[in-house]
Structure 1
Amino acid sequence: MDKVYDKCCGIDVHKKLIVACFRKGSKQELRNFGATTRELLELANWLQNGGCEMVAMESTASYWKPLYNILESSELKAMVVNASHMKAVPGRKTDTKDAEWIAELLQHGLLKASYIPDKQQRELRELVRYRKSLVSERTRELNRLQKMLEGANIKLSGTVSDINCMSARNILEYLLTGEFFDEAKYDEMYKQKIIAHNLKASKEQLIDDLNGVMTPLQRRMMKELLSHLDELNVHINNLEDEIDNFMKPEEKKATQAIQDVTGIGKNSSQAIISVIGTDMSRFPTAGHLAAWAGLCPGNNESAQRGRPEKCEKGMLFYVQPW
């Protein structure tokens, strides 16, 4: 079989161990390294001094990221490969054998590199995904709040369309006082516009729904939940400002264009750009982009007979509506 690379390296990456197989023609050299920055720099220097043309490693959890960053800063060409694309022979599973197998496949051009964006886009992804995590955490806290209110027989969800809106928050702050919510209090809050004038519930229904039985413990728990929600809102707003400042002008322009699609807002458009970037030259057609995103079923045909094949999760898992 023809050799694509004369000097290449296959690396098996673990949390605290890096096993490298450096192939030079028909010969190879095996070395073990730790996962500290000093030892990763030693690995990069070893490959540089040996004239390595290409490095390949598995996309194991997030352990590949520090190594990839070191190789990138050392101007060494590297590819990250899906582990399912390079299964070794069964019964011969060791770290050394894995590194040798990766190096052999790489040398003969049998590995398909995963798309790794540039450093700026990778950092944008980190910001966007962290925002997604905070939004998910806020949703969980709102669900806890809703569950606690139902336990106290307070039907706030039947009164307002969103328990995270300003009117709902004002009502919750009043419930913390433990006072009875009567018609006089409703009129007072209504005149001061503390309660919105477009609530879906009538005055009578609102009074009935909000007069539940809340214990002192439940009030303390609600106070903690509201405090945590305030903190999360502050962090999310700060992170959104950070994302706006971090994005390049062409990325901001692309997000504006994507928002012309019905149903896609600012946050979703930023998430899409953080995943696919703005350089579409690596996707020959729209079909290639859809396939990479995991929106197209794969081919599964044998003996001229096709079998159903499900879509993979793909990268657009990170840009679901949120």
Structure 2
Amino acid sequence: MSKKGKAIGLPIVNTRAAGIDIGSRIQVAAVPPELSDDPVQTFQSFTADIERMADWLISVGVTTVAMESTGVYWIPVYEILEERGLAVVLANARDCKTVPGRKSDVNDAQWLQRLHACGLLRASFRPSRDIAALRAYMRIRDRHLEYAAAHMQHMQKALTLMNLQLHHVLSDISGVTGLRIIRAIVAGEQDPDVLSAMRDVRCRESLETIRSALVGNYQPEHIFALSQALLLFDAYQERIADCDRQLERALQLLNVDKAMPETPLAKPRTKTKQVNAPKFDVRAMLYQLTGIDLTLIHGIGSSVALSLIAECGTDLSRWPTEKHFTSWLCLSPGCKISGGKVLSSHTRKSNSRVACQLRLVASTVGRTETALGAFYRRLAARIGKAKAVTATARKIAILFYRAMRFGMRYEDPGADQYEQRYRERVVKQLQRRAAHFGFSLQPAEMGVS
């Protein structure tokens, strides 16, 4: 306050706002001085102490709380405070950097409280409780897939040490033929004729080629390493099956109050099944949950659609426009301008799982004869593959946003129609530029060089 009694500084937006500095051992909570005689208090990280902190915040009249996303320590505090009815704002650490000077937990809590009281903190995205559970199951499943892939590499190394060139004659040693042969080797079979006879009818390589690849140097220590990797691979496959059951149960809970749409689900665009896809009808359950078929968008299969729903939820109104959504994913161009000069337009670096998955989808779509594939190839030839992947991933994210937010049904126009539209657009631009300089463009006669 000034000498004349006028307020100095930023106006207060949230009069009953609190700030909490999250730590692994203690949490420091700060409230406005006018609400309590002791506005800053320290609590232990035990559940009883967190509940006591929530009781204290409610008793002094706090209605909203701000905290930083520090590791994973904020999660139990966030959930307990949210259950008590407090509006919790999870702020990004880069948005609430403290002022220069001595740094302490008390200063950090008071600075968070001040920023939140003035309305200067933006809340990070946090899905609803049901979607958060689905996301947790999906992330655990993805982690198990990574561990299983690592043990598959261990099996391939053991086969290489025995000079069994199985990975050269089979596209995937984790397929039907590869696992059948590996299990037989672990069981003690070493006859190449017997092992090659286990070839699946869908295998492209001939019986003779596979037999030649299975003549090797069977040493006991390498067979032991192969058996250990196989046991661990099978163990993770069982854990992945457990995750599939939990995912199915979570989707059933989300679909309890939702009726199946009147329009029947169309047949899948492709009959090929992904190897690591969940072992239940994900497509039908997501169709009931969202009312739209996300797999109509090229590159988005059932597994990718489930990951997108688990990470972003079903209510995309949290992002006002598709530009906000792609900016949140760090897929839109940056905008660093100073003095009227563009310093950088690169996309921000991010660890977003959705952005990473969309980039993988974009790389796959780039090889298809679709409009998205033609878009990728045109940009790749002009600005390079890396930027083309990001631009295509952004376009797929926009299609996902429009489908979830407005119920858009995607229909692929095809690569030829996309190229024709692009040609017409370029010709119109050239005609406008020619007219601006006083010229006119005329189409060239066919057969005239």
TM-score normalised by the chain length of structure 2: 0.67
Between the aligned residues of both structures, percent identity stands at: 27
> Relative to structure 1, is the Cα distance of residues 26 and 71 closer, same or farther in structure 2, using a 3 angstrom cutoff?
closer
Match for residue 246 of structure 1 among 247, 250, 257:
250
- The corresponding residue for 1:12 is 21
Alpha-carbon deviations, 1:54-86, whole Å to 9, x = none? 100000011111111111111011110001111
Match for residue 170 of structure 1 among 168, 173, 180:
180
8 A contact 2:192–2:214 mirrored in 1 = no
Match for residue 60 of structure 1 among 70, 74, 96:
70
How far apart, in 2, do the equivalents of 1:173 and 1:95 lie? 57
Aligned-pair Cα RMSD in Å: 2.1
**Once the 2 structures are TM-superposed, how far is the Cα of residue 312 of structure 1 from its aligned partner?**
3.0
Match for residue 310 of structure 1 among 341, 347, 351:
347
How far apart, in 2, do the equivalents of 1:241 and 1:186 lie? 34
**Once the 2 structures are TM-superposed, how far is the Cα of residue 179 of structure 1 from its aligned partner?**
4.4
Match for residue 259 of structure 1 among 295, 299, 302:
295
- The corresponding residue for 1:3 is 12
How far apart, in 2, do the equivalents of 1:288 and 1:252 lie? 24
8 A contact 2:18–2:113 mirrored in 1 = yes
Match for residue 324 of structure 2 among 267, 274, 288:
288
TM-score normalised by the chain length of structure 1: 0.91
- The corresponding residue for 1:108 is 118
Radius of gyration: which is bigger?
2
**Once the 2 structures are TM-superposed, how far is the Cα of residue 204 of structure 1 from its aligned partner?**
2.4
- The corresponding residue for 1:95 is 105
**Once the 2 structures are TM-superposed, how far is the Cα of residue 90 of structure 1 from its aligned partner?**
2.8
How far apart, in 2, do the equivalents of 1:158 and 1:239 lie? 32
**Once the 2 structures are TM-superposed, how far is the Cα of residue 315 of structure 1 from its aligned partner?**
4.9
Partner AA of 2:86 in structure 1:
L
Alpha-carbon deviations, 1:218-245, whole Å to 9, x = none? 1111112111111111211221121022
**Secondary structure at 1:99's aligned position in 2?**
helix
Q: Which moved more, 1:268-277 or 1:252-261?
A: 252-261
Would you say 1:226 and 2:226 are equivalent positions? no
How far apart, in 2, do the equivalents of 1:316 and 1:177 lie? 42
What is the aligned residue count?
316
- The corresponding residue for 1:84 is 94
How far apart, in 1, do the equivalents of 2:56 and 2:16 lie? 12
Alpha-carbon deviations, 1:105-129, whole Å to 9, x = none? 1111111111111111111111000
**Once the 2 structures are TM-superposed, how far is the Cα of residue 3 of structure 1 from its aligned partner?**
0.4
How far apart, in 2, do the equivalents of 1:101 and 1:130 lie? 35
> Relative to structure 1, is the Cα distance of residues 315 and 179 closer, same or farther in structure 2, using a 3 angstrom cutoff?
closer
Partner AA of 1:312 in structure 2:
K
- The corresponding residue for 1:201 is 205
Alpha-carbon deviations, 1:121-175, whole Å to 9, x = none? 1111110000000011111111111122112111111121111112111111222
Partner AA of 2:320 in structure 1:
P
Partner AA of 1:310 in structure 2:
T
> Relative to structure 1, is the Cα distance of residues 125 and 237 closer, same or farther in structure 2, using a 3 angstrom cutoff?
same
How far apart, in 1, do the equivalents of 2:292 and 2:161 lie? 43
How far apart, in 1, do the equivalents of 2:188 and 2:52 lie? 65
8 A contact 1:154–1:211 mirrored in 2 = yes
The gaps in structure 2 that reach 5 residues or longer are: 1-9, 259-284, 362-449
8 A contact 1:255–1:270 mirrored in 2 = no
- The corresponding residue for 2:308 is 272
- The corresponding residue for 1:145 is 155
